[in-house]
Amino acid sequence: MSQVVGPTYLGPVGHPALGIRIPEILLPGILKAFKKRNVAGGLMLSFGRETAPEWVINAPYGKYEITQGHTGTSIRKYMTMAAEASIREGLIVEIEADHLTIAPSSAEAVKRISEVKYEYRMSKEELEKSINYVKAEIDEAVSTGYVNFYTLDTCFLIDYSVENLGHEQVKSMFFEIFGDCAKDILKRYSSREYIFIGELGIPYKYNFSQEEVMKFAIKYAESLKATKLIYDYIKSKMTKPFGVEIAFDETPVLTDPKEMLFYMKELWEMGIRPDFIAPNIGFKKRKDYSGDLKSLERRVDRLSAIAKSFGSLISIHSGSGTTPYSGKGIGTYEALLKATGGAIKYKISGVYIELLFDLLASYPKGTRQRELFETIFDNVYDFLKKQIEQDGILASPELKAQLELYEKEVSTGVREEKDSRADFFRYYSFIALNLRDSEDRRFLRESIVELYNEDVEFRERYDKEVEALTLRLIDGLKYENNVLKVMEWLTRQ
């Protein structure tokens, strides 16, 4: 066993990265699984949605969007609890600031991942406000002394409109934006051939036309600029080794390998070498992968080969499936292993809370556990109904359709009332942890923690389920003993 314990920068080594939305009840089961398989893993929350600085978490209800820090867990709290628990257990963990997101608001960030279909262009004022907020998040993370990894998400700044412009418009815009640097950008890619060989032994060849270079440069200009700005700010604050990941997945289309190559090449030119990059490989949140596995394997092989040429690995987001027990669907883990040689990072978060609500719902009616679930369900349902009626920040045609489907299925006897598997609940039950009572308490979150602390049978059962879920991921992607690779990285010459 390694002499290194606690928060540690793991480097570009494959590992699971797990969201601890309620660290009080999630850390025991997760860390037990890490210890059982000798795994070094990441513990994280999304800064764009799940967590927030203490001054947001402690603010009166209504001062900030309900989607901002919706777990009710502050940056300081989850990082401190994760670090202290890992040290007690003698484990190596990476404390990650996940999804430092440049976005118009946390509500828009939530809509982006909730199958709401739309495009949004940020204003200059929104951009400045978002950057300042991200800097404040970084400040709190750094102040804990525990953070050692950051995932940067500037997907909102990708400009898709350039794809519909003609050649002369593209050319004019390109030279206007990049000025004296325009020729250097073109020179980097002209008359060059890039060849990458993946785990499948297939050589992938890419070259760029001038128009492609100009389009890609325009499309990703603001995203790259913001990424550099955030990276430089982190670098100015950190006094110990840290790593970064680029979130490239929350986009409306599959990631084009050539575009990812361009993006990584430009990052390299900026002096940024990410440990991981997360492309859109066709995964949907809370759904098993239903596409062709051979196509997935070939797609990931291409992307992984490109990433590795820059000293990076692929990171998989939207890692949870249709149920907490399905992984990402039959054969999906195996396809990912073939395509990456097992050198892959894999993230899950919300599935642990989905597991919690399913477990509470499984108890007989009249029990404390079932009554808590019904209270959670009713409060989420009532809140979402009001969102639709009042055109609230979460209102969307997709949410309206999910609620109507649930009501129709209940009325026709297709689905039982208060079903934890109803789509609207699966996609939006996260909001339960941030709902307040008349005394401004996060009463549902507090009730969950109280039940966990007071009910030995429930605590043992949930710990066992969390451990089992974590082990399914660890075993499915063969992370066992990855500590050995981490130690080689830490002792590198």
Residue ranges of the domains in the chain?
6-353+469-490, 370-464
- Which backbone phi and psi does 432 adopt, to 5 degrees? -55, -35
Pair 100, 153: CB distance under 8 Å? yes
Kindly tell me the sign of the dihedral angle through the C-alpha atoms of 407, 348, 466, 296.
positive
pLDDT value at position 1? 46
For residues 400-415, b (16+ Cβ closer than 10 Å) or e, as one string?
bebbeebbebeeeeeb
| Residues linked to residue 314 through DSSP beta bridges, in sequence order | 277, 344
- Cα 282 to Cα 284: distance, rounded to the nearest angstrom: 7
Q: Report the pLDDT value the prediction gives residue 111, as an integer from 0 to 100.
A: 67
Q: Which pLDDT score is estimated for 185? A: 97
Q: Which residue has the tokens 């019904």?
A: 374
DSSP string, 395-439: --HHHHHHHHHHHHHHHTTSS-SS-TT-HHHHHHGGGGGG---TT
Contact present, 75 and 21 (Cβ < 8 Å):
no
Smallest Cα–Cα separation from 282: which of 265, 310, 303?
Answer: 303
Can you tell me whether residue 248 is helix, strand or coil? strand
For residue 46, which phi and psi values (nearest 5 degrees)?
-80, 125
Distance of CA 440 to the CA centre of its chain: 29
Which amino acid appears at position 360 of this protein? L
The residues pairing with 73 across neighbouring beta strands, listed in sequence order, are: 51
Tracing tokens 């979150």 back to the chain, one arrives at 445
Which amino acid, 486? V
Q: Is 46 exposed, middle or buried (0-12, 13-18, 19+ CB in 10 A)?
A: buried
Looking at residue 255, the DSSP 8-state letter turns out to be P
Whole-number Å distance between alpha carbons of 399 and 205: 43
Cβ-proximal residues to 327 (8 Å cutoff; 6+ apart), any chain = 288, 321, 333, 472, 473, 476
Specify burial of residue 134 (Cβ count, 10 A radius: 0-12, 13-18, 19+): buried
Q: How far is it, in rounded angstroms, from Cα 361 to Cα 420? A: 7
Evaluate whether 59 touches 74 at the Cβ level (below 8 Å): no
Q: Quick one: tokens of 45?
A: 């929350």
User: Between vectors from CA 323 to CA 321 and to CA 329, what angle results, nearest 5°?
Assistant: 45
Q: Are strands 313-316 and 203-206 parallel, antiparallel or unpaired?
A: unpaired
Burial of 125: CB neighbours in 10 Å, binned 0-12, 13-18, 19+: exposed
Q: What is the DSSP letter of 60?
A: P
Architecture, CATH, for domain 6-353+469-490? Alpha-Beta Barrel (3.20)
pLDDT of residue 271: 98
State whether residue 97 is helix, strand or coil. strand
Instruction: Give me 20's structure tokens.
Output: 């601890």
Q: What's residue 109's pLDDT?
A: 73
Tokens of 340: 């990456």
> What pLDDT does 113 receive?
60
Q: What angle do CA 294, 317, 358 make, to 5 degrees?
A: 100
Extended strands (E) in 49-166: 51-52, 73-74, 92-101, 149-153
- 121 DSSP 8-state letter: -
Q: Are 34 and 93 in contact (CB under 8 A)?
A: yes
User: pLDDT, tens digit, for every residue of 270-304?
Assistant: 999 999 999 999 999 999 999 999 999 999 999 99
Q: Are 20 and 26 in contact (CB under 8 A)?
A: yes
Nearest to 250, CA basis, from 399, 424, 119: 119
- As a whole number of angstroms, the longest Cα–Cα distance in the chain is 72
The pLDDT score that the predictor gives to residue 193 is: 96
What is the reported pLDDT for 108?
A: 79
CA 444 to each of CA 392, 416, 434, 441: distance values in angstroms, whole numbers, following the listed order: 21, 23, 8, 9
Write out residues in the chain with pLDDT < 50, as ranges: 1, 493
* The pLDDT of residue 116: 54
Query: Over the stretch 191-227, which tens digit does the pLDDT of each residue have?
Result: 899 999 999 999 999 999 999 999 999 999 999 999 9
